[in-house]
Structure 1
């Protein structure tokens, strides 16, 4: 089963969404949106960009070990997916 996007109200007429994996693990939580339409647009943006997005590791450990010019990575999305240097 694929992940599930859930839109919830955060009080004060603000909304957010969370992405939950099929095993129940919360994978991502969005910032607050002023409208449900805004939250839905955020979900669509994640859907459109997640599979092709770069991972940029800005952690200190990675920067010190290989240098920041190698920190951008492409994401492989097939079976056995892993991080690969760009």
Structure 2
């Protein structure tokens, strides 16, 4: 009985989220773009107020940087310190 109820709740949430999937995906992509901007703004000359906290994230985010600059319409990395292509 509990499994059936869980399946019903999952189905209900899926039905509610279905028309908004593109909006949710767009918002998540925009949040990720803002996060990447915070990470790399110091390298492009914009003062970064959270530089101390984002510095340790560079090794983990470098793989996503390539996808980001391609999505922004740049064929090659705009930063000379980061070679991803």
Structure 2 length-normalised TM: 0.29
Whichever structure has more helix as a proportion of its residues is: 2
Larger radius of gyration: 2
Whichever structure has more strand as a proportion of its residues is: 1
Structure 1 length-normalised TM: 0.29
